[in-house]
Amino acid sequence: MRFFLDTADVDAIASRYETGLIDGVTTNPTLILKSGRTQHDVIKELAERFPLMESISAEVVAETADEMIAQAETFYPLAPAVTIKVPCTVEGLKACKRLSDGGIKTNVTLVFSVAQACLAMKAGATYLSPFVGRLNDNSFSGVELIKAICGVQKEHRMETKILAASVREAHQASRCLLYGAHVLTLPIKTFDSMYNSVLTREGLDLFNRDYAEASLSNG
């Protein structure tokens, strides 16, 4: 079970990394835009501050496999954890195959069907990213897609790890893990919400009150 954070906010990542529960970071062009920084700067800082992370994503944006690979060549020398994100298109999968054959970590992103996932596995992707929340936005079940993809991955003993993305609620996160996702990538808000239970809060308040009372009674 792996937890990645889906954000380019390095300070927010740092405070969650202190928990010891974070294994990697994903970003996308939208998250990089929000950060107000370049993707290269974000990746370099992440690699310097969190050298033990297993994966730091770098998304390529281009039309052809050759162009994607040319962009990837500017990213993967930055750190061993750098994982090249390519879109689940013909050109993206060609780039994935060539990068994976060359020993570069890859993440096939924008996956919305089992068929696409099969092609990404066959292309040797290190990770593939079904977008759970965006499927739900369009009246399909994201977690059912995770279940189906994980079934194929297991049945055919494929090495690709299933990375559930666009996960927006703690309940979705736990269902993805139940159905076999190897990795969750979570916005900060979703990660933080995984701690929350009103029963834990109430139980703790009671224990704290009783502890204080017992301390007073027993001197």
85 catalytic, yes or no? Answer: yes
Determine the 3-state secondary structure of 6 from DSSP: strand
Chain-centroid distance of CA 139 in Å reads 22
* 116 lies in the binding site for ligand G3P (CB under 6 A): no
Based on the shown chain and the rule CB under 6 A, indicate whether residue 9 belongs to the binding site for ligand G3P: no
Tokens (6 digits) for 62: 């281009």
Give CA–CA dist 82/118, Å, rounded. 23
Please give the angle made by the CA atoms of 52, 58 and 59, to the nearest 5 degrees.
Answer: 155
Q: How far is the CB of 62 from ligand G3P (least distance, A)?
A: 19
Question: Which residues pair with residue 4 across a beta bridge?
Answer: 24, 185
Say which of 85, 94, 105, 189 is annotated catalytic.
Answer: 85
Nearer Cβ to ligand G3P (107/153) = 107
String of contacts with ligand G3P for each residue 25-64, x by CB under 6 A: -x-x------------------------------------
* Residues facing residue 184 across a β-bridge: 3, 164
- 172 counts as binding ligand G3P under rule CB under 6 A: no
Q: Does residue 6 belong to the site contacting ligand G3P (CB under 6 A)?
A: yes
Count other Cβ atoms within 10 Å, centred on residue 34.
12
164 by Cβ neighbours in 10 Å (0-12 / 13-18 / 19+) ranks as: buried
User: According to CB under 6 A, which one of 134, 147, 161, 182 is a site residue for ligand G3P?
Assistant: 134
Per-residue binding string, ligand G3P, 179-198, x by CB under 6 A, is: ------x-------------
Contact footprint for ligand G3P (CB under 6 A): 6, 26, 28, 131, 133-134, 165-166, 168, 185
